[in-house]
Chains A and B, each alone.
Chain A
Amino acid sequence: MTDLTRLNAVDLAGLVANGDASAVEVTRAHLDRIGAVDDRVHAFLHVDSDGALAAARAVDERRAAGEELGPLAGVPVAVKDVLTTKGVPTTVGSKILEGWRPPYDSTIVERLRAAGTVMLGKTNMDEFAMGSSTEYSAYGPTRNPWDTDRIPGGSGGGSAAALAAYEAPLAIGSDTGGSIRQPGAVTGTVGAKPTYGGTSRYGLVAFSSSLDTPGPCARTVLDAALLHQVIGGHDPRDSTSIPAPVPDVVGAAKLGASGDLTGVKLGVVTEFTGEGAEPGVMAAFRESVEALAKLGAEIVEISCPHFRYALPAYYLIAPSECSSNLARFDGVRFGLRVGDDGNRSLEEVMSLTREAGFGPEVKRRIMIGTYALSSGYYDAYYGQAQKVRTLITRDFTSAFEQVDALISPTTPFVAFPIGARTADPYQMYLADLFTIPTNLYGGPAISVPCGLSDGLPVGLQIMAPTMADDRMYRVAAALESSVGAFTPPAL
């Protein structure tokens, strides 16, 4: 008997479509797997068994009635707890929203349901998506299935770990500074950040609105592309949604799988191949660059001089937007309220509620943002960061006049031990050194497994021009066909 949890989404969908397995069987297999391993992984904050089985039964009924099913119908998916799910708890990894059941679905979740995918539950994350290890979750860390003493990346560590632990074949993440790609890299899975505006932010709990981008996570490039196709596209409820069709990411992934990159020109980002990355990461990256060259790609070095300022610019822009966005957590309309004894004023209750409801990293970012936006500091900090953002965008546009896509390691280091970087917040920020420029520019980028360093996964990042998401899928699928998949040791 095939272990259904080991199959990819495309194969599971095929089994369901052909009647070789029911959606209920596929769903039960994954729920059983979650029951067997999640006490050790802690990828999920909430498992919606009843909702999942009901959704699976609906798919089986539609098939029995002869209805045509979509390409991912009956396939389970894990959803990062940053997206609202009607009637299903949504915490954003924070105590301030503990027990909240949203009255509406986010657009991404609405599209997942419409496509007949089966939502298994909500995955763990750093509180409000602020972090690179999932250690800042108010509900305890997620563990890396490759080594449960190590972090699974963040903020979307739960989604990535669920894939690597075979608890789900597909997952949704959100990427503000690398929160899809970095967890993908350190868990040996695929994580794609679509073009900003290519996926809807409606119902995505806001962290940094000019950067937040929901996107697909999977174990293979084709699965990620299929999920991207389902969730992507214009949404009139998001005013920054791009009114254009989703690039043909599925076609590109299939084209890339043929392993031919003839005519594709790739630029290795000079600034990201010197100091800053671990030797083991660089060794795996260099081998992959050779593999890409063997597939026919032309490889050149490209300098992007302002990328070194991306990290400081990001840690001004994102906290500034966060300090404004998180003002809505005031103990009035949803979530926690603390200290309302009938005597305290609204302002006192608000301050006590936010003090009790937010964790230390969220507080740090709110205060940094408040500082950077305050009069007297605005020009030197937030204003200057916005100008640097322009220069980083120019680095990208100039690079894309010379090459089709840029490549780099996804992260400077492999999964680190839990607790290794929490004492010094800035050390945690360095995990996003290579992923942040793309967010500031707004283009798409994908992390694909490219090798191992001391038995831990390394990811290669492909960055493409805005609305050329298909390009990165082609290159990623080609690399995947060459280096293969990486399977973690049994849990």
Chain B
Amino acid sequence: MAAISREEVAHLARLSRLAVTEEELDMFAGQLDVILQSVAQVGEVAAADIPPTSHSVPLTNVLRDDVVTPSLTPQEVLSGAPDAEEQRFRVPRILDEDVAS
């Protein structure tokens, strides 16, 4: 039985903000199915009482001293931006036109 359907892969692509093509969906559906069926092996391990590990370094609340240090200039920060205006990143419209107007 397939672990994941073509429709589910299309949904994942939307959630992931990937405008995948129909051909890619065909390819990814099969490949993701193989991968998910393989990684599902973790379910074989009896681990109900085992605490999860998110990180190997036992450090918590690492804070720096609250002192001013040099940082990048606005020009440097914006130097790689696809579009910039008035020291800001310029983005495509976020709201629908009828809402915006």
| 8 A Cβ contacts from A316-362 to B | 316, 323, 327, 330-337, 340, 342, 344-352, 354-355, 358, 360
The answer to whether B43 touches A380, judged by C-beta atoms less than 8 angstroms apart, is yes
Q: What chain B residues lie within 8 Å of A316 (beta carbons)? A: 39, 42
The answer to whether A352 touches B19, judged by C-beta atoms less than 8 angstroms apart, is yes
The answer to whether B54 touches A103, judged by C-beta atoms less than 8 angstroms apart, is no
The answer to whether B39 touches A333, judged by C-beta atoms less than 8 angstroms apart, is no
Mask for A351-375, Cβ within 8 A of B = 1, else 0?
A: 1101100101001101110111010
Q: Write the nearest CB–CB distance from A230 to chain B, whole angstroms.
A: 22
CA of A55 to CA of B20, assembled, Å:
44
Q: What chain A residues lie within 8 Å of B9 (beta carbons)? A: 367
Verify if A190 is at the interface (C-beta below 8 Å from B): no
CA of A441 to CA of B72, assembled, Å:
36
Among A240, A327, A380, A386, the one with the most B-chain Cβ atoms within 10 Å of its Cβ is A386
Known: A351-B17, A367-B28, A441-B56. A381 touches B89 (CB 8 A): no
One of B20, B51, B57, B83 near A355 (C-beta < 8 A): B20
Verify if A313 is at the interface (C-beta below 8 Å from B): yes
One of A309, A327, A368 near B42 (C-beta < 8 A): A309
Verify if B68 is at the interface (C-beta below 8 Å from A): no
Q: What chain B residues lie within 8 Å of A335 (beta carbons)? A: 80, 82
Known: A355-B20, A424-B34. A344 touches B92 (CB 8 A): yes
Q: Is the interface of B mostly helix, strand, loop or mixed?
A: loop
The answer to whether A240 touches B57, judged by C-beta atoms less than 8 angstroms apart, is yes
| 8 A Cβ contacts from B25-75 to A | 27-28, 31-32, 34-36, 38-45, 47, 50-57, 59, 62, 64, 72
- CB-nearest residue of chain A to B34: A426
Verify if A111 is at the interface (C-beta below 8 Å from B): no
Known: A239-B62, A340-B83. A332 touches B52 (CB 8 A): no
Verify if A21 is at the interface (C-beta below 8 Å from B): no
Which candidate, A56-64, A245-253, A387-395, A477-485, is the interface stretch facing chain B?
A387-395
The answer to whether A100 touches B50, judged by C-beta atoms less than 8 angstroms apart, is no
Residues in chain B within 8 A of chain A (CB atoms):
4, 8-9, 12-21, 24, 27-28, 31-32, 34-36, 38-45, 47, 50-57, 59, 62, 64, 72, 76-77, 79-83, 89, 91-94, 96
6 residue pairs A–B, Cβ–Cβ below 8 Å: A240-B57, A313-B39, A331-B82, A363-B20, A370-B16, A440-B53
